[in-house]
Amino acid sequence: IEISNICRRNCLYCGIRAGNTKPERYRLSIPELLDTAKLAKNLGYGTVVIQAGEDLGVRAEVIAEAVARIKFELGLAVTLSLGERSDEVYRLWFQAGADRYLLRFETSNRNLFEAIHPPAPGEPAGNRLELLKRLRCIGYEIGSGVMAGIPGQTWDDLARDITMFVEQDLDMIGCGPFLPHPQTPLGRIFETDRTTGLYKPGPLTNEQRRFFEEHGIPVPDPMDQVYVDEYLPFKVIALARLVCPMANIPSTTAIATIDPKQGRLLGLSRGANVVMPNLTPTKYRKMYEIYPNKAASFESPEETHATAVRQITELGRTVGQGPGRSPKFSQRTV
Ligand code: 5AD
C-alpha cells in the first residue's frame, strides 16, 4: 500500500524525487489506509507493507496508531517502508506493533550511493547499512536490497552487494533492475533501448562524462559497468537465493515491469519465494511512478490480487497463508 508519493529527497534515479514537479502529489488519509488494509484482510492476506516517499507529513504518531490498529484489530503482520527516520521513530513504530522494516541500501559502493542519493538539505548523508543494523537491534525483521545496473555501478560493486546481503544477515532481499525515468537526472542523460526500456551502457559520451563528474559519480571502465539485460535481475535473485537460502526474496514489481507477461513467474522460478501485489487504490497508483510503466499502474487491487493468485497457481504452487515471516528471522538467535 503506497500511502504517499511526497518525498523530501532528490535521488537522481527516482521518479517521485522532490525536484520532479510533474507528478501530482498525494497522501492517503488514515481511513483510506485502514480501508485498504481491511480489503487486504478480506482478500486473504496475512500481512501488508506500508510504503511512502520520505514524507515527514506522514507523522510518526499517526503511523504508530494505524500500525497498532492494522496489527491488533485486523490481525495482519505489518511491514513499514518509510525511508530514513530517527531511532526514536523506528522504536515507536516497533512498539506500536510493526514487525518488519524495508530499506534498500541500493548499492554498497559508498561513493556511488552518496552521489545518486544526496542527503536532505542541511542533513548529513544517511548510512543505510548502519540504519539496517539499528533496525535489526530494535527487533525488526529487516529487508533490504539493491538496484542492478545503476550507471556507475561495476560488476565488482554488484558482487559486493550480494556478499553484503549475507553480512547484514537480511531476512528479506528485494532487488530489481535500474529503470531510467525520463523526469530524473539519471534518466535524462542515459539513452534507453527503445523496445525494452532498459539502460544499455556503452562508452560514455562527453555529456555523460561531464554529468558523472558534476555529480561525483565514479566513472567506471566501460567493460566494468553493469549491463542491464533481461537476465540481469534473475542472476541477482538466483545468487541472493544461493547465499541466503532462508531469506524471503520477492519477485519484484520492477521485474514484472520489464517483462509484464513472464517476469514475475520467472522470478519465482529462479529463486524468489514472495510476491508483493500492489493494493494501492487505483486513483493514486499512476502518481507513484518511481520508474516508467510500473506494472499494474492502472489496475484495481482486486485485479492485481487475482493476477498474483493465478500466476502462483499456474506454477503449480499454493499461495501461503499467515503472516509471512521470513524463515531466516524465525531461526535468529542473536
Ligand atoms: N529504477 C528501478 N528501481 C527504482 N527504485 C526507485 N527508482 C527506481 C528506478 N528508476 C527502487 C529503489 C527504491 C525502491 C522503492 O524502488 O531501489 O528503494
Per-residue pLDDT of 62-117, as tens digits, reads: 999 999 999 999 999 999 999 999 999 999 999 999 999 999 999 999 999 999 99
Cα–Cα distances (Å) from 110 to 118, 128, 283, in that order, read 12, 10, 37
Amino acid 173: pLDDT = 98
Q: How far does the centroid of ligand 1 lie from the alpha carbon of residue 104, in Å?
A: 9
Q: Which residues of the chain have pLDDT under 70?
A: none
Over the range 19-29, which residues count as b (16 or more CB within 10 Å of their CB) and which as e? ebeebebbbbe
Amino acid 143: pLDDT = 98
Provide the H-helix boundaries in the chain. Answer: 30-43, 60-68, 87-96, 110-116, 128-138, 155-167, 185-189, 206-215, 232-243, 253-258, 263-269, 282-285, 301-314, 327-330
SS3 177: strand
Mutation pick for ligand 1 pocket among 82, 289, 290, 291 (CB with most ligand atoms within 8 Å) = 290
Ligand 1 pocket member 328 (CB < 6 A)? no
Q: Is residue 90 classed exposed, middle or buried when 0-12, 13-18 and 19+ CB atoms within 10 A define those classes?
A: buried
Q: How far does the centroid of ligand 1 lie from the alpha carbon of residue 316, in Å?
A: 30
Q: Would you state the torsion angle of the CA atoms of residues 309, 148, 150, 100, taken in this order, to the nearest 10 degrees?
A: 60
Ligand 1 pocket member 176 (CB < 6 A)? yes
Cα–Cα distances (Å) from 89 to 61, 83, 114, in that order, read 9, 11, 23
In sequence order, what are the residues at sequence separation of 6 or more whose Cβ sits closer than 8 angstroms to the Cβ of residue 104? 128, 144, 145, 146, 147, 174
Amino acid 201: pLDDT = 80
Ligand 1 pocket member 178 (CB < 6 A)? yes
pTM, two decimals, is: 0.97
Ligand 1 pocket member 290 (CB < 6 A)? yes
SS3 332: coil
The grid coordinates of residue 10 equal 532528490
Task: Give the end-to-end CA distance of the chain in Å, rounded to a whole number.
Answer: 31
Identify the residue whose C-alpha is closest to ligand 1 atom 6. Answer: 14
Mutation pick for ligand 1 pocket among 9, 158, 192, 291 (CB with most ligand atoms within 8 Å) = 291
172 φ, ψ to 5°?
-145, 140
How far is the C-alpha of 138 from the C-alpha of 94, rounded, in Å?
8
Ligand 1 pocket member 161 (CB < 6 A)? no
Identify the residue whose C-alpha is closest to ligand 1 atom 2. Answer: 178
CA-wise closest residue to 4 among 305, 281, 296: 281
Amino acid 196: pLDDT = 78
Nearest atom in ligand 1 to the alpha carbon of residue 291 is 10
Ligand 1 pocket member 147 (CB < 6 A)? yes
Ligand 1 pocket member 254 (CB < 6 A)? yes
Amino acid 64: pLDDT = 98
Nearest atom in ligand 1 to the alpha carbon of residue 147 is 17
Identify the residue whose C-alpha is closest to ligand 1 atom 3. Answer: 178
Q: How far does the centroid of ligand 1 lie from the alpha carbon of residue 251, in Å?
A: 14
Amino acid 190: pLDDT = 84
Number of Cα atoms under 13 Å in the Cβ half of residue 124: 4
Identify the residue whose C-alpha is closest to ligand 1 atom 18. Answer: 104
